[in-house]
Amino acid sequence: MGTIPESPLGRPTRYPERYDAGLLYPVERAPQRRELGLSGGLPFTGVDRWTAWELTWRDAPGRVQAAIARFDVPCASPRIVESKSVKLWLASLYDARFDSPAALREVLAETLSHATGAVVDVQLDLPQVWSRHARSEAPGVSLDDEIPSAFPAAPEASLLRAAGEKVEESLVSNLFRSVCPVTGQPDYASVAIRYSGAAIDRRSLAAYLFGYRRHPGFHEHCVERMFVDVMSACAPERLAVEARFTRRGGLDINPFRSSDARFGAPGMASIRQ
């Protein structure tokens, strides 16, 4: 594993004492997409939905405030933001003052939009509404009792099989694991693959997902690889892939990619989030 030049990921860092928008570290999407043969127009739509559970600041009189924040980064953005830099950026807000939550939301949205190169939607939930936060497991047929048809050391699209009658279903696994390409730390997620088309062989899909267990990939790239591989190998008429990763450093990242904007949408937080 290596480091991204100038990124705080995988390096000792000190927490900031004052607000600093310059802490955000953008990463270009293009190099990893080129590995998947993606250039020009994308074969999917979607967002990367971030949840920030550790956000605090001060209001105009100086009182401490807190919120849960959600950021929706369009998948068409030319850049993502490296997760540890987001954690440090948010931490730098702890002593900053804002006249209102709306003023803070505007700063967050403007800063993230500048870093990613696309308009980022930001929502803030204050403590008064925290009890409304729902938890729901992704609906669908679980793959977790299936015995994989193989146990590959890396993702192998050639393992995927689809044949037989047309179905519309969602196949779900709560056993997904990959590793950070910089630090080597494990990342865990629940994955939902919703599609219509020839039925995907479940043992082959379980084997394909098993191959990610030691695969070094950012969350967003893993989901895009799944989308491209399933679309290429199984040729569904419609496809949506979502991964809901467990939080690290107060942040969870939940990429969602769909071949049809009308086919599904990002789900609610899972019990592990």
In tens, the pLDDT along 182-195 reads: 889 999 999 999 99
Window from 117-121, 171-175, 230-234, 266-270 with minimum mean pLDDT: 266-270
Q: Which fold has domain 21-132?
A: GTP Cyclohydrolase I, domain 2 (3.30.1130)
Joined together, the tokens standing for residue 212 give 């990610």
Does the pLDDT of residue 2 top 50, yes or no? no
Cα–Cα dist 258/20, whole Å? 35
Q: 21-132 and 141-258: same fold?
A: yes
Give me the catalytic one of 48, 72, 180, 222.
180
Return the pLDDT at 269: 80
> Of 11, 124, 8, 2, whose CA–CA distance to 57 is shortest?
124
Query: Is-catalytic flag, 234?
Result: no
Q: Which stretches of 8-113 are assigned E, i.e. beta strand?
A: 26-28, 45-59, 64-74, 79-81, 97-98
Burial (CB < 10 A; 0-12, 13-18, 19+), residue 76, is: middle
Residue with tokens 């989308």, as numbered in its chain: 227
Query: Is-catalytic flag, 144?
Result: no
Return the pLDDT at 6: 61
Rounded to 10 degrees, the C-alpha dihedral 251/254/255/260 comes to: -150
Class of domain 141-258 as given by CATH: alpha beta
Going 164 to 230 to 203 to 138, the CA torsion angle's sign is negative
What are residue 167's DSSP bridge partners? Answer: 197
What value does the mean pLDDT take over residues 41-70?
96
Phi and psi, residue 38, nearest 5°: -100, 120
Contacts of 145 by beta carbon, 8 Å cutoff, 6+ apart: none
Cα–Cα dist 244/45, whole Å? 17
> How do the domains of the chain map onto residue ranges?
21-132, 141-258
Q: How many CB atoms lie within 10 A of CB 81?
A: 22
> Of 92, 154, 81, 152, whose CA–CA distance to 115 is shortest?
81
Give me the catalytic one of 187, 201, 229, 252.
187
For residue range 255-271, list pLDDT tens digits in order.
999 998 777 778 878 87
Does the pLDDT of residue 5 top 70, yes or no? no
Contacts of 105 by beta carbon, 8 Å cutoff, 6+ apart: 122, 123, 124
Do 101 and 124 contact (CB within 8 A), yes or no?
yes
Does the pLDDT of residue 153 top 70, yes or no? yes
Identify which has the larger pLDDT, 16 or 187: 187
